[in-house]
Structure 1
Amino acid sequence: MSAELATPGLGRGLKDVLRSRFLLKLLVAKELKVRYRGSVLGLLWSYVKPGVQFIVFWFALGVFLGMNRSTENYPIYLFSGIVLINFFNEALGNASRSIVGNGGLIKKIYLPRELFPVASVWVSAVHFVPQLVVLLIACVFTGWRPGLLEIAAALSGFAIVALLATGLGLFFGAANVYFRDSENFVDMLLMIATWASPVLYSWTMVRDALGEVFLTLYLLNPLTIAVELFHFAFWRPTTGSVTDAGTLVPPDFFSLWVPVAAILAVLVILLGQYTFRRLEGRFAQEL
């Protein structure tokens, strides 16, 4: 019997990543080892960098601009958004550069190229865990007692961001091989991401300043929904309940906006995979 012909250099997409879990583990270990080679603090940078970022934003917005007074329990509100948006920024930034950064390896041997963006997202998840531990400790000290709904909300928010970062990482990782301007576009996108989602401010400020129509457009951003899921999971006003604290979640949040965000994240990963497969055939030549 003759084997089925296939285009050289093309795999089966993310299915090959699932079949190559050992290679994925090796790539994640390599990325972590290379990143902290010669570093004194090593993985402790996962605490230091978000800690400094939190202090700067807390003083600038919480103390000087009065967010401490307008948003109850603002430090938890701020940090729960920062840890999630930092995961997205690091995952997408590294994934978009992963193919070009591993060009030498890609030109020498064949392995599923999707491994490189996915490994970048996994490395970012490793850095996310210490920040989440700090957040959990701070929440416990402020009286946080999670239920099943809160845990489900946190897992859903993380999953939406992971899917979104992976899909965009596949898209821009492939595009960056052909158009190096993609790196600059991603850098601009990451700069906007922190301010285009309710990390530093409340979603009610968007509604009050720009109205319900713009709020609807604002909620179409999956990052907005993911950050609000983390706020629901970890942050609580010190007064009021879920039903009477009107700042807790936007209207129709769980019935409408969370499913919409999940669908959009899946569509992004499908678009990223489609684009990646269309472009990966000439990666070695272009690199």
Structure 2
Amino acid sequence: MTQHPALSDPEYSTPGTSRGLISGFQHRYLLSLLLKKGVITRYYGSALGWAWSYIRPLAQFFMYYVVIGILLGVSRGVEYFPVYLFSGIIMVNLFSETFRSATDSIVGNRALIQKVYLPRELFPLANVGGAIIHFAPQAVVLFLISVLNGWHFEWIQPVAFICAVLIVVLFGLGLGLFFGALNVLYRDSKNFVDLILMFATWTSPVLYPFIKVKDRAPEWIYNIYMSNPLTAAVELSHGVFWAPIASGAERPEGIFIYAAIAFGIAIFALIIGQLVFRKLEGKFAQNL
């Protein structure tokens, strides 16, 4: 029996095979189509459209500023508290949107997954790309506010900002792959995601300075707290936008060591998420 020429072609691959996240980046055209679809349809039919990318974080900011900053008096102890608050909020929002959108990506694309095969990792990757695109306007607004308040450039700032974004995106994507795969089998996985996101803002120094934890918690708890990827990313963000304009800014000692640990935790979460995703993706179509 003669073998079909395609079977001996080095470019030929059996349908259904995937190399995980690498396959997602290898199919850049499909990834760009999914990304474009997500961005275009996000506010489809909305009167305000992309303005919601500004309205939501600003509404969140004013709520926290009034309640935490003014009523509870936290703003009296933190110089330029609005900048401090907003530079933390944008990182938490990036994590929340990355984590939630990656978790919902498989179930949300059930119609496409049931009809045709393409690397399943394309869906969470496209959703995470959309989260980064909608994070950008918030970062630009924060940068402009910092500049108006006397922000000055140092070479370490862009490095710290890139590190903060990488930590948040990798950690959120890793958790999103894990819970996104479980969400296909057990739809109440979204409830666990909601619980994690509910605690995310309060377990990182967004609404309060890190020094309050350092002064009150045992050293080993403080070290765990600072090694939390979201905490490290928020403090890096503070160092980029808030610390240059606040003369009395108190920064954590060894922040880049904590950031390195947080980066390692984010990579570990990504590996575990990818392994679980690969383990369960073969049954996505029938379980959807």
Provide TM-score, normalisation by structure 1.
Answer: 0.93
Aligned-pair CA distance for 1:174: 0.7
Q: Deviations over 1:139-196 (max 9, x none)?
A: 0011001211011111100011011111111111111001111111001111111111
Taking the aligned partners of 1:10 and 1:220, their CA distance within structure 2 comes to 36
Per the alignment, residue 64 of structure 1 pairs with 71
The one-letter amino acid paired with 1:81 is G
Q: Secondary structure at the match of 1:251?
A: coil
Q: Does the 8 A contact of 1:10 with 1:281 survive in 2?
A: no
Aligned-pair CA distance for 1:10: 3.8
Per the alignment, residue 272 of structure 1 pairs with 273
Q: Does the 8 A contact of 1:153 with 1:230 survive in 2?
A: yes
Q: Does the 8 A contact of 2:15 with 2:117 survive in 1?
A: no
Q: Secondary structure at the match of 1:224?
A: helix
Per the alignment, residue 85 of structure 1 pairs with 92
1:116 to 97, 118, 123: 123
The one-letter amino acid paired with 2:273 is G
Per the alignment, residue 224 of structure 1 pairs with 231
Alignment of 1:150-169 (within 5 A): 150-169=157-176
1:134 to 137, 141, 156: 141
**Identity value in percent:** 47
Tell whether 2:241 aligns with 1:239: no
Q: Does the 8 A contact of 1:9 with 1:280 survive in 2?
A: no
Gaps of 5+ in 2: none
Per the alignment, residue 263 of structure 2 pairs with 262
Superposed CA RMSD in Å reads: 1.7
Taking the aligned partners of 1:185 and 1:227, their CA distance within structure 2 comes to 23
Aligned-pair CA distance for 1:6: 8.5
Q: Does the 8 A contact of 2:227 with 2:259 survive in 1?
A: no
Tell whether 2:99 aligns with 1:95: no
Per the alignment, residue 252 of structure 1 pairs with 254
Deviates most, 229-238 or 65-74: 229-238
Taking the aligned partners of 1:35 and 1:73, their CA distance within structure 2 comes to 33
> Do the aligned partners of residues 238 and 12 (structure 1) sit closer, same or farther apart at CA in structure 2, a change above 3 Å counting?
closer
Per the alignment, residue 284 of structure 1 pairs with 285
Q: Does the 8 A contact of 1:10 with 1:277 survive in 2?
A: no
Deviates most, 82-91 or 5-14: 5-14
Deviates most, 270-279 or 2-11: 2-11
Tell whether 2:217 aligns with 1:213: no
> Do the aligned partners of residues 280 and 8 (structure 1) sit closer, same or farther apart at CA in structure 2, a change above 3 Å counting?
farther
> Do the aligned partners of residues 78 and 89 (structure 1) sit closer, same or farther apart at CA in structure 2, a change above 3 Å counting?
same
The one-letter amino acid paired with 1:238 is A
Q: Deviations over 1:237-265 (max 9, x none)?
A: 6324xxxx5x22x22222x2111111111
> Do the aligned partners of residues 260 and 122 (structure 1) sit closer, same or farther apart at CA in structure 2, a change above 3 Å counting?
same
Deviates most, 193-202 or 8-17: 8-17
Q: Deviations over 1:68-93 (max 9, x none)?
A: 11111111000000011101101111
Gaps of 5+ in 1: none
> Do the aligned partners of residues 7 and 20 (structure 1) sit closer, same or farther apart at CA in structure 2, a change above 3 Å counting?
closer
Taking the aligned partners of 2:223 and 2:43, their CA distance within structure 1 comes to 42
Q: Deviations over 1:82-107 (max 9, x none)?
A: 01110110111111011011011000
Equivalences, count: 280
> Do the aligned partners of residues 7 and 283 (structure 1) sit closer, same or farther apart at CA in structure 2, a change above 3 Å counting?
farther
